[in-house]
Amino acid sequence: MTLFVAECSRRSEAPETDERSLAPWVSHGNHIASLDNKAVTVPVMTMRAQILLLTLLPLAVLTVLAMTAVRIPVPEIGRGYVVHIELPVTDTPEALPDVAGANSAPLVVIDAGHGGHDPGAAGQGYREKTIVLDLARALRDELEKGGGVRVALTRDEDRYLVHAERVDIARKLGADLFISIHADSAGDAADVTGASIYTLSNQASSQAAARFAERENASDRLNGVDVGGESDAVSTILVELSQRRTQEKADELARLILREADGVIDFHPQARRSAALKVLRAPDVPSILFESGFITNEEDAQRLASPEGRSRFAEVMARAIRIYFARQQES
């Protein structure tokens, strides 16, 4: 019988086995017996036992590995692909910008919106961050040329500042006015044109103003992370704490700009707007945001990018600013 078992084990290895050699043998349950009823017990695993073994064996192996603190090696492929994003560090004090002009003169801080990784709006082959930096420099030069006013830029290069940094610069310098310069976008509506002036308000003056504020405030978010360090609750408190007199001064400057720009700069039908813009939230510095035009409109974009357009903008703004300070001295 031992010889038969050996022969059976070799049967699977021999490709040409004579089936007649197994004729004297039959299978009965869990043993194989000869026809002369001399049985040889050969365990035969049932299907259910095979499934159970295949299921429990891997689990048993993992349990043993876990109990013995054996670590399964992981391939190194892909481990080096880690994305690192450098966020602006708002709690590290930045060097304040240079201030031009006599120390006794009132100070205007001019803020060119966006910059660095944030291009702002884009259209007609232009980017907002470049357009508004050129406008800010033109206004600075015009104010310096006329004298009687000190002036500083929040940025004089292509770099990004969160809104809180822009406001802090104005407050730390002791600014008497803060003017943030931007260029708007109307998406596919290329026929929308004209400048507009924003002042601070908890309630937006229109749905368009609310959408604009949401878009501008969102520039403090990088890959979904708010790097501005200011919650909505704090923002609302800042607006509520803003002095009424400060807002009245900002409104007065806006009216003067509209008056001096009449016939020189084309304004949007809704030229005066208000919204909860982060960049205007200095409670002690009269602040406005000047939307110089729609960069998505061909005529506006070419005007803003041209030396003549920048010159007209700077002259109007400088004239309104000087009148504003003259009235403040009288009151």
Residue 273 class from Cβ within 10 Å (0-12 exposed, 13-18 middle, 19+ buried)?
A: buried
Q: Please write down the long-range contacts of 240-247, taking CB distance under 8 Å and 24 or more positions apart.
A: 240/202, 241/283, 242/200, 242/281, 242/283, 243/283, 243/284, 246/282, 246/283, 246/284, 246/285, 246/286, 247/199, 247/200, 247/286
Question: Domain segments of the chain: what residues?
Answer: 1-7+25-74, 107-330
Element (H, E) at 199: strand 195-200
Evaluate whether 236 touches 202 at the Cβ level (below 8 Å).
yes
Listed in order, strand segments (DSSP E) in 20-154 are 25-28, 31-34, 39-40, 107-112, 122-123, 126-127, 150-153
Residue 158 class from Cβ within 10 Å (0-12 exposed, 13-18 middle, 19+ buried)?
A: middle
CATH level 2 (architecture), domain 107-330: 3-Layer(aba) Sandwich (3.40)
Which two tokens mark 107? 């100070």
Q: What is the pTM of this model?
A: 0.66
pLDDT by residue, tens only, the chain of 331 residues: 443 444 444 444 444 444 444 444 444 444 444 445 555 454 556 777 777 777 777 777 777 766 765 555 555 555 455 555 555 554 445 689 999 999 899 999 999 999 999 999 999 999 999 999 999 999 999 999 999 999 999 999 999 999 999 999 999 999 999 999 999 999 999 999 999 999 998 667 567 767 767 777 676 544 343 444 555 555 555 555 556 889 999 999 999 999 999 999 999 999 999 998 999 989 899 999 999 999 999 999 999 999 999 999 999 999 999 999 999 998 7
